[in-house]
Amino acid sequence: MVSTQRKAVALISGGLDSLLAAKAVMEQGVHVEGINFYTGFCVEGHTHAIRKKDKAKPKRNNALWVAEQLGIKLHIVDVIEEYKDIVINPSHGYGAHMNPCLDCKGFMVKKAHQWIDEHGFDFIITGEVIGQRPMSQRKDTMPVIARESGAGDLLVRPLCAQHLPPTLPEQEGWLDREKLFDFSGRTRKPQMALAEKYGFEDYAQPAGGCCFLTDEHYSKKFVDLWDARGERKYELDDIMLLKVGRHIRPRKHFKIIISREEGENNFLSGYRKMFASLKTTSHAGPLALLDGELTDDDIELAARIVARYSQGRSAEKVELEFTGKDGVSRLMEVVPMPPSQVQEDWHI
């Protein structure tokens, strides 16, 4: 009898759960490849890669690292444009912050379902665990993801499969249900024990989730962006810039993004053609981008704030170079703003 090796695609976030889920299925002789969706909000060591002080920390793409550990092919799929609708109009709402986890998971499984159709694969694997996350990984929301994604019983969650109805791969005997797992709840102990059994070390342990939308401060800056613009829209550059620098909005119609160190300075420099900017010239200091349409009075105010974050904060006067969006520069001199005048609610 000729046996056909079954093929599955595993959603790889870069965390431990998806690593273990893929491995558990590979152990049963299934050919597994990984898929990772790039939304623009992914954490993936982004700020570590920018900040100079984090230079010593390893910079790695965890999804690629997981694929390497497993010895599988990884498909990285850019979903930046399509994903906008998930973030802007999530039908199931947001989690604790701006994270639309339930819609997000449904979207990713749907994309994976399309992918297996196009590539002749048999089923989909995720590292979800019942009760692990408050929004997307609950017993009552797991069927929602399977149903709304259209994947139905082609969606296998190996780590908690024994708590769920048998999927097609289990019914067909492509997978032995007894060799899948019954993990549940927020404890990470079973995963850690399984990682040890499989010999995995040095895996990533994301605290809140796999993307910036679970971060309170990031979400606040994101909401501020929409409020200031009066519309719920964003471009990739917007959401990248929210990951970097100190964001200060002294007036509703403009915001200042001030680099906090050299790495951020370099990163923000790449955006100087898109924004007006300020840079101290008489003293060492940060680069600042100005987001909004600014009057001369606004520029003066912004310059005083930027001077306050430079080495000249105690000087009588600080000289700065202002460069408009048209690329034309001029020098200006201002009195640095005393800390007492920098209002708390300007900080986003």
To the nearest whole angstrom, how small is the minimum distance from the Cβ of residue 90 to ligand SF4? 9
Nearest to 342 by CA among 314, 301, 311: 301
To the nearest whole angstrom, how small is the minimum distance from the Cβ of residue 30 to ligand SF4? 24
CB nearer to ligand SF4: give 210 or 268: 210
Six-digit token string for 308: 């306050």
Residue pair 12/37 in contact by the 8 Å Cβ criterion: no
Measured distance CA(17)–CA(117) in Å, rounded: 24
Map tokens 């105010």 to a residue. Answer: 301
CB nearer to ligand SF4: give 30 or 87: 87
Six-digit token string for 314: 């105690």
Interaction of residue 101 with ligand SF4, rule CB under 6 A: yes
To the nearest whole angstrom, how small is the minimum distance from the Cβ of residue 161 to ligand SF4? 20
Per CB under 6 A, the list member of 25, 70, 104, 156 interacting with ligand SF4 is: 104
| Helix 80-88, helix 101-119: angle, nearest 10 | 150
Per CB under 6 A, the list member of 61, 62, 141, 214 interacting with ligand SF4 is: 214
Interaction of residue 43 with ligand SF4, rule CB under 6 A: no
Window of 16-24, 93-101, 187-195, 242-250 that interacts with ligand SF4 by CB under 6 A: 93-101
Residue pair 221/50 in contact by the 8 Å Cβ criterion: no
To the nearest whole angstrom, how small is the minimum distance from the Cβ of residue 215 to ligand SF4? 10
To the nearest whole angstrom, how small is the minimum distance from the Cβ of residue 2 to ligand SF4? 40
To the nearest whole angstrom, how small is the minimum distance from the Cβ of residue 80 to ligand SF4? 13
Six-digit token string for 31: 């050919």
Window of 206-214, 257-265, 285-293, 314-322 that interacts with ligand SF4 by CB under 6 A: 206-214
| Helix 142-149, helix 101-119: angle, nearest 10 | 40
How many residues contact ligand SF4, by CB under 6 A? Answer: 11
To the nearest whole angstrom, how small is the minimum distance from the Cβ of residue 101 to ligand SF4? 3
Segment 228 to 257, residues that bind ligand SF4, using CB under 6 A:
none
Residue pair 122/175 in contact by the 8 Å Cβ criterion: no
Residue pair 21/157 in contact by the 8 Å Cβ criterion: yes
Per CB under 6 A, the list member of 14, 34, 40, 100 interacting with ligand SF4 is: 100
Window of 162-170, 208-216, 286-294, 303-311 that interacts with ligand SF4 by CB under 6 A: 208-216
Residue pair 275/289 in contact by the 8 Å Cβ criterion: yes
Residue type for position 159: L
To the nearest whole angstrom, how small is the minimum distance from the Cβ of residue 222 to ligand SF4? 12
Segment 117 to 136, residues that bind ligand SF4, using CB under 6 A:
136
Interaction of residue 306 with ligand SF4, rule CB under 6 A: no
CB nearer to ligand SF4: give 166 or 208: 208
Window of 60-68, 96-104, 175-183, 194-202 that interacts with ligand SF4 by CB under 6 A: 96-104
Measured distance CA(157)–CA(148) in Å, rounded: 16
Per CB under 6 A, the list member of 6, 97, 105, 113 interacting with ligand SF4 is: 105
Residue pair 32/74 in contact by the 8 Å Cβ criterion: no
Interaction of residue 209 with ligand SF4, rule CB under 6 A: yes
Kindly list the residues in this chain that would bind ligand SF4 in the complex (CB under 6 A).
Answer: 99-101, 104-105, 136, 209-211, 213-214
